[in-house]
Structure 1
C-alpha cells in the first residue's frame, strides 16, 4: 500500500537562507519552487525522496498556521509524506485503522523555475492518531525532476529518517501492523536504547526509544535524518571549505560504515551523513 517515503517537510522562517543552506549541503540545485496558499516551497529531489522546505508567505490562514508552528516549535523537521499507488484504497485503510484521514483532495503545483505543472491526490491522518507525527499520504503519476548536481561529493539519497518515541510498543504497531511497513530489524543496546527499523521503499524509517529520555505518555517526534554519500572524505572536505560546521569522520554503528555529523546549515534538523559499507553495494 505504502510504496515509498515521497518527501519530508522542513519548516523555516527564511526560505532563501534555507534554500542556500540545503544547496550547499546537497551540492544540488532546487528541483521545484512554488509560492501559493500562504506558503513558499522549495523542493530538492534526490535519488529516492524529496525534501520540501516550507516558509510562510503573505497573510491568510495557512501562512498564519505556519507562523504559529514556527513560533511554538522553531525551525525543523515537520512532517512525513508517504507515497501510495492507490489513494482511495489507502484512505479506506486509514479509516479502518481509526487514523481519521481527511477527505482526499486534488492538489496542483506550478514550478516557478520551469512553468511545469504537477498534480496529485492527497490525504492527511489525524496527528493525535499518529502519535504526534504529522503524516500525509499521496498518489501521483508523474515523477518530479531530479535536483541537478552542482558540485562533486554531494548527497545521493536518504538513508533513514528517525522518529523518537517514549512508548515503543504502540509505535511499532503504528508503523508495522497499521501502516504496513516491513520491520527489518528490532534491537536493543545499553547505550542506544531500542531501535526498530522499518523498510519504506529504498530507505528506512527508524523508530528509536531511549528509556528515561521523555515521559511515557509524551507524543512521538521527528528527530532527524541520515543522508547517504559515496565518498565521505570528499564530502567532508567540500563542506568544511564551504564553512559548514561538521564533525570528524568516525566509524558508524553498522559494520563497514563511516559517518559524520552536520552541525549547521540544516534548519535545525539533526543531520548525519553516512558512507555505506562496500558490501551493501556489492
Structure 2
C-alpha cells in the first residue's frame, strides 16, 4: 500500500468531490486541498476580507456579547440621539431616566455613544448602578462615553441590535434620529410578530414623538397597513416615573404568567 505522502493522481472530475456538506463536480472540483491553503504562507491577504472570514468575525461578536452580558441581570435598553447636547433638557431627562432605572433595580444599556446615550449612562453610573455601552464602529463616532462601566464594541449593527433586545426587559426611547427610529421599529416588529414577548416600548417626550404616532394612526392605520392594536405596542409619556412604571408592571405581569424555570423572553 502506498504511503499517504506519496504523490497522488489528479482527482477524477467525473467523481463527486465532497468537502463537508458541499458536493463539487467537473469544473468546480478544486485543484488544491484546504490543508495546502492553510499551510501555504504565500499569496495575497485578501482572504481576510472574504465572506467566510466575515462569518467568523460575526460569530465572535455574538460570542463576546453573550459572554459579557450573560450575568448582567435585569436591564433596560435606552436609545436616543448622539447629537443631544449637555445643556439640552433631553440630556437632563436621560440622566433622570438612568438614575430612576437603577433605583428600580435595572442595569442601563445604551449604544455607549455621546448625547442622550451618555446622559442615561451618566445617570446610571452616578446612581451606583450598572452602566452598559454597546458601541458600534462608525466613521464619525469614536469610543465609549466615560460613564460606561461595561462596554462591548461591535462591527456589525445586527449583532449589536440582538444584544439590545436579548438582555433587556424593555426599551425606553428618548428623542433621536434615523438610528433611534431603526431600533424603535425593529423592536415594534419583533413584538408584533411575537419574536419577543412582553417587551414594553416607551417613547419619552410626547412633544417629539406625538407626530409619529399621529402619522401611524392617520396614515398607516387608515391605509390598513397596520392594525389598531399595533398602536398599543408603544407607550408615549413625558414622565420618567411613568416610563419606568410601564417596564416594572410588564415585568410583574411576565413573572405571574411565565411558568417557573422558563428562559428569556426572546427567541
TM-score normalised by the chain length of structure 1: 0.28
TM-score normalised by the chain length of structure 2: 0.29
Structure with max Cα Rg = 2
In proportion to residue count, which structure has more strand?
Answer: 1
